[in-house]
Amino acid sequence: MSSRIEILNDGGYRSDGRKQYELRDITIDLTQQGTADGSAQLTHGLTQVLVTVFGPREAKMRSQTLHDRAVLNVEMSVAPFSTGERRKRSRADRRILEMAAMIASTFEPVVQTNLYPRSQIDIYVHVLQQDGSLLPACINATTLALVTAGVPLLDFVCAVTGGVHSTSPLLDLTTLEENDVPHMTVAVMPRTRKVTLVTMETRLHVERFRELFELACEAGQTIHREMKYAVKDRTVALVNAMDAGSKGGAADDHDRDVVMDDRI
Amino acid sequence: MISFASFPSTSEAYGRYGNTRHHPDVEDDVHMDLDEDDFEENVQRLTVPGESITSSHAFMRGHGTYVDNDEVIASVAGTVERVNKLITVRAVRSRYNPEVGDLVVGRITEVQPRRWKVDANSRQDAVLMLSSVNLPGGVQRRKLESDELQMRTFFEEGDLLVAEVQAFFSDGAMSLHTRSLRYGKLRNGQLVTVPPILIRRLKSHFVSLPCGVDLILGLNGYIWVSKHVKQSEQEGEEGFDAEAVYSNKNDDIDEATRAAISRVSNIIKILAAHFVPLTDSVLLEAYEWAVEQESSVKDLLLDDVGENLVASLGSGLRQ
Amino acid sequence: MAVALVSKSERDYIKTSLQTASPLRADGRSLLDFRTVLLETGVAPLANGSARLNIGKVAREGGGGTDVLAAVKLEVEDVESGDGVDGGRVACSVTCSPSAYSHLSSNALDELQHDLTVILQQTIAHRSLHPSNLTIIPGRKAWLLNIDAVVLADSGNVVDALFMAARAALWDTKVPRTRPVEYRAPESSRATEKETQDSMDVDQGTSGFDTRDMARDAADFELPDYWDEGEVLHGRERWPICVTLNLLPPIHLLDATLTEEASIPLRLHLMFSFPPSTPPILQAIRLSGPGELDLAYVKSCITDGEKYARELFSALESKLREEDLRRNTKARDRFSSLR
């Protein structure tokens, strides 16, 4: 069933007024939440997720520990009010378990788990609102939460969705677009341009796939920049606060001794 | 009795970040070449995971880095530190990374055969062996089977203790010991937790403030705030008094001291919230400010009072 | 609700401090002081009403606090098929995040969730509080009002937080305006034939839908376009709040932290409603924790509880009105900036 709303109109605009390759606004909040070791609240358009990270810490389930590395435990909960139509999903919901497993496998090769044998890293993903691109939002927020928790990562993981409307590729789909066009999610590590996740549940022509895949990888770099700025902002703020405190200077002399390395 | 406030707005909040650049056609950031100058004194360099720091030919990689393709690359977000040829990145916030000889404050989570498990804010619970504690009836006595059967009379679940990191197991878990008269079970006060990075290595982590409050600044970020106990009392006449060491009973504490303990705890919370590293001099200065302002203990936790407190710091040091 | 690990000496220290002549708590509060409560309404744009509430968050990097997110979502239910109830119904659910209770097993977490859901459901979904404007078409369609609360972090006093958040979300709720419609054969069949050939446009007043008010025989309803999101729930002033008295006879304290809760296990939850210009109503009462109380003491607790609840209630209400104002101004500003 196709929706009555035009996915891409003649002027080249999408239903929410964006251009084909335009991403929605991303807002990142890395302030401390509760007792978590690291947390990130990421708002991507109308999609909003909160990820908290605990660990590495003593494993709760001793039988599940690994003798040579830490276990990544991803648990996901979706707020019943997060969607247009209310839907309460239990924690054992198949769809949720699948998403959590995808997030875990995305981060397995990225987190340096070998540094923490027999430990456990808990990643709790809370979906507060959904309007498309849910998995990328979860992945990006998880990256940020792990970074704020000081968990060693080989690189950021930056994810984005892409879809194809007839022959035109689109980036960062909303729910409306996801329901209508074939789409996929790609997660990249920006430095090496390695891909840690590709998932697609709909059919797509192989030619289109290639084009879209490359486009999504490129968009990942843009998202990386946003995420990196957020992390650097916070790091600078905290380091400055520590300097001011320990050197007895007041907080007014900012940026005094800090050099930002802004290379991509 | 109750007051409501609003969540900090996006622009005010600390570490919040809201801005958008659109894809594509975003200008690339300015490239900066890195050379030895970046390691100049007083210049701190910040990095984030995945960022290349330098070539691995000239430098060795330390904590918070890894090597890929002849490059030393950061794996955490924080400050780059260099000691000779060794490059490390210190995460700005993380769990406690123990070193042998560190003083920590921990909480017993589990009693196991001949050992206790201790939560010390690290990657795994620490281990306190029965053989690593002072036993009643003499410091140097051998441990007996009867000791094994009554381990809970020494420490039980929930008990807080101060200990030293003795060694590491092969999997990275730390083992602790309390074989000193200054170590052991904690009484007469309350616990405050802060990010471990805010506790710097000091000459002594036992701090006595003139207001009759003792502090134990655990390097793992757990801080014990308690009533001042005189040195001689602490050590006891015979050197070791098992009753006292493993007692769960608090001494009599007067109201003034209790108020002082609460005040110091709140000061620690504020300083930690503003990410100010805690040293004895900072704490003392902050305490004096708080007393001078005659603010009530609970008001310290109000935002503006906290801001003023932190702003006041350093004015004393500068003079 | 969650039991923190505390040592005997910590417990003793807390209790003794509370029982001195001028009781002092770990953070300097007196017995009846609350920690600062942060509140924001309208946080979930896809819901009909929502609020986020935090008790005791320390500014900046301090974190902490009991963090609750609550949202109301309305669904249309068919009364005739037996799904719905005439006049609408209210359903509550509470989800506890493992990040708030990371030491609990998933079974224990489920139990806790269930327990909190029951407390909320029994109080809020009670007949005496039922809003009168949940009917769409009498006898046919009605709104199902879902309140979903998520506990994101718990640093004590989670029940009070839940009730405050639920009250805020309910206060914020707007019920969409509906207009009953009836399908009726067009008056003149000839005209219809002609019209259908001409156009299928529904908006021309020639449709089979008659949209005049006809509460009695209405078959279905439509959502008219209107400038606001709808009307508030009727009787929104009545939604109850909870005060939890942590009992250490002869004294009691409010807004306990986790360590205080672990040290003082006996708790009395009192849910009060304050309908305008009528005496307050005790909607629910619940004693939790081990121990026994004599009746006179419970009575005095209820009397005291009412006093605290009223204070809490009026503070919350003025905050809610402030939030309404803030959001209206924000919307107006945004609107004028667009123009």
Residues A205-256 have pLDDT tens digits of 888 999 999 999 999 999 999 999 999 999 999 999 998 876 543 333 333 3
Q: Is C126 at the interface with chain B, CB within 8 A?
A: no
Among residues C319, C247, C293, which one has the least CA distance to residue C38? C319
Q: Is the dihedral of CA B136, B141, B147, B148 positive or negative?
A: positive
The chains in contact with chain B, meaning 3 or more Cβ pairs closer than 8 Å, are: A, C
Give the CATH H-level superfamily of domain B103-312.
Nucleic acid-binding proteins (2.40.50.140)
Contacts of B157 (CB under 8 A, 6+ apart): B108, B109, B110, B111, C5
Do the two domains B36-91 and B103-312 of this chain adopt the same fold? Answer: yes
Residue A18 located in a structural domain: no
> Which chain A residues are closer than 8 Å to C103 by Cβ?
60
CATH number of B36-91: 2.40.50.100
Residue holding tokens 């052991």? B184
Residues C2-25 have pLDDT tens digits of 567 899 999 999 999 999 988 989
Contact B269 C62 (CB under 8 A): yes
Residues B72-108 have pLDDT tens digits of 999 999 999 999 999 999 999 999 999 999 999 999 9
As a whole number of angstroms, the distance between CA B303 and CA B310 comes to: 11
Residues C251-280 have pLDDT tens digits of 999 999 999 999 999 999 999 999 999 999
Q: Is A17 at the interface with chain C, CB within 8 A?
A: no
A250: amino acid identity, one letter: A
Q: Tell me the average pLDDT of chain C.
A: 87
Among residues C245, C256, C260, C248, which one has the least CA distance to residue C4? C260
Q: Could you tell me the CA-to-CA distances from A97 to A77, A78, A91, A108, A141 in Å, in that order?
A: 10, 11, 8, 16, 18
Percentage of chain C beyond pLDDT 90 is 65
Greater model confidence, A63 or A260 = A63
Answer for the pair B71, B52: CB distance below 8 angstroms, yes or no: yes
pLDDT at residue number A238: 93
Residues C178-222 have pLDDT tens digits of 888 877 665 554 444 444 444 444 444 444 555 554 545 667 888
DSSP label at B29? P
Residue A21 located in a structural domain: no
As a whole number of angstroms, the distance between CA C66 and CA C57 comes to: 7
Q: 3-state SS string over A212-244?
A: HHHHHHHHHHHHHHHHHHHHHHHHHHHHHHHHH
Identity of the residue in C5, C27, C36 whose CB atom sits nearest the CB atom of B262: C27
**All domains of chain C, ordered by start, with CATH?**
35-178+223-338 (3.30.230.70), 179-222 (no CATH)
For residue A257, is pLDDT > 50?
A: no
Answer for the pair C17, C25: CB distance below 8 angstroms, yes or no: yes
Residues A53-86 have pLDDT tens digits of 998 999 887 788 899 999 999 999 999 999 988 8
> Which helix (DSSP H) or strand (DSSP E) does residue A42 occupy?
strand A38-44
As a whole number of angstroms, the distance between CA B188 and CA B213 comes to: 10
Q: Domain limits at A82?
A: 26-243
Which residue in C3, C8, C11, C22 has the most chain B C-beta atoms within 10 A of its own C-beta, making it the best mutation to test that interface? Answer: C8
pLDDT at residue number A255: 36
pLDDT at residue number B181: 84
Contact B49 A237 (CB under 8 A): no
pLDDT at residue number C66: 96
Answer for the pair B296, C24: CB distance below 8 angstroms, yes or no: no
pTM: 0.90
How far is CA C174 from its chain centroid? 13
For residue B192, is pLDDT > 60?
A: yes
> Which helix (DSSP H) or strand (DSSP E) does residue B44 occupy?
strand B44-47
Spell out the domain ranges in chain B: 36-91, 103-312
As a whole number of angstroms, the distance between CA A99 and CA B121 comes to: 30
Residues C45-93 have pLDDT tens digits of 889 999 999 999 988 888 889 999 999 999 999 998 888 889 999 999 9
- Binned at pLDDT 50, 70 and 90, residue B26 comes out as very low
As a whole number of angstroms, the distance between CA A30 and CA B92 comes to: 13
Domain with A164 in it: what CATH number? 3.30.230.70
Among residues B202, B205, B203, B248, which one has the least CA distance to residue B223? B205
Answer for the pair A151, A53: CB distance below 8 angstroms, yes or no: yes
pLDDT at residue number C279: 94
Among residues B175, B180, B161, which one has the least CA distance to residue B248? B161
As a whole number of angstroms, the distance between CA B203 and CA B205 comes to: 7
Give helix A134-148 / helix A206-247 axis angle, nearest 10°.
30
Q: Tell me the average pLDDT of chain A.
A: 89
CA angle B59, B96, A154 (to 5 degrees): 45
pLDDT at residue number C2: 55
Answer for the pair B156, B111: CB distance below 8 angstroms, yes or no: yes
- Binned at pLDDT 50, 70 and 90, residue C330 comes out as confident
Token pair for C172? 């914020």
> Which chain C residues are closer than 8 Å to B263 by Cβ?
28
> Which chain A residues are closer than 8 Å to B92 by Cβ?
150, 234-235, 238-239
Q: Could you tell me the CA-to-CA distances from C323 to B111, B290, C308 in Å, in that order?
A: 51, 33, 22
Contacts of A192 (CB under 8 A, 6+ apart): A155, B68
DSSP label at C299? H
Q: Is B117 at the interface with chain A, CB within 8 A?
A: yes
User: Could you give the count of Cα atoms lying within 13 Å of B11 in the half-sphere of its Cβ?
Assistant: 0
pLDDT at residue number C188: 52
Closest residue on chain B to C30 (Cα): B298
Extended beta strands in A98-215, E state: 119-129, 158-165, 168-171, 183-189, 194-200
Among residues A147, A169, A7, C239, which one has the least CA distance to residue B89? A147
Residues A96-142 have pLDDT tens digits of 999 999 999 999 999 999 999 999 999 999 999 999 999 999 999 99
Closest residue on chain C to A51 (Cα): C99
- Radius of gyration of the CA atoms of chain C, in A: 25
pLDDT at residue number C205: 43
pLDDT at residue number B243: 67
> Which chain C residues are closer than 8 Å to B262 by Cβ?
24-28
Which residue in C5, C12, C60 has the most chain B C-beta atoms within 10 A of its own C-beta, making it the best mutation to test that interface? Answer: C60
DSSP label at B292? H
Contact C65 A129 (CB under 8 A): no
Answer for the pair B253, C15: CB distance below 8 angstroms, yes or no: no
Q: How many other C-beta atoms lie within 10 A of the C-beta of residue C215?
A: 10
Identity of the residue in A31, A32, A80 whose CB atom sits nearest the CB atom of C148: A80
> Which chain C residues are closer than 8 Å to A32 by Cβ?
60-64
Answer for the pair C33, B298: CB distance below 8 angstroms, yes or no: yes
Q: Tell me the average pLDDT of chain B.
A: 83
Q: How far apart are the first and last CA of chain B?
A: 40
Answer for the pair C34, B3: CB distance below 8 angstroms, yes or no: yes
| Total domains in the fold of chain A | 1
Greater model confidence, B142 or B97 = B97
Among residues B81, B96, B87, B80, which one has the least CA distance to residue B48? B80
Contact B298 C28 (CB under 8 A): yes
Among residues A176, A156, A194, A160, which one has the least CA distance to residue A8? A176
Q: Where are the alpha helices (DSSP H) in chain C?
A: 8-18, 106-124, 158-172, 189-198, 258-263, 295-338
Answer for the pair A70, A146: CB distance below 8 angstroms, yes or no: no
**Range scoring the smallest mean pLDDT among A125-129, A156-160, B33-37, C111-115:** B33-37
DSSP label at B240? -
Task: Enumerate residues 50 to 79 of chain B having a beta carbon within 8 A of any beta carbon in chain A.
Answer: 50-52, 64, 66, 68, 73, 75-79
pLDDT at residue number B137: 67
**Range scoring the smallest mean pLDDT among B30-34, B116-120, C17-21, C316-320:** B30-34
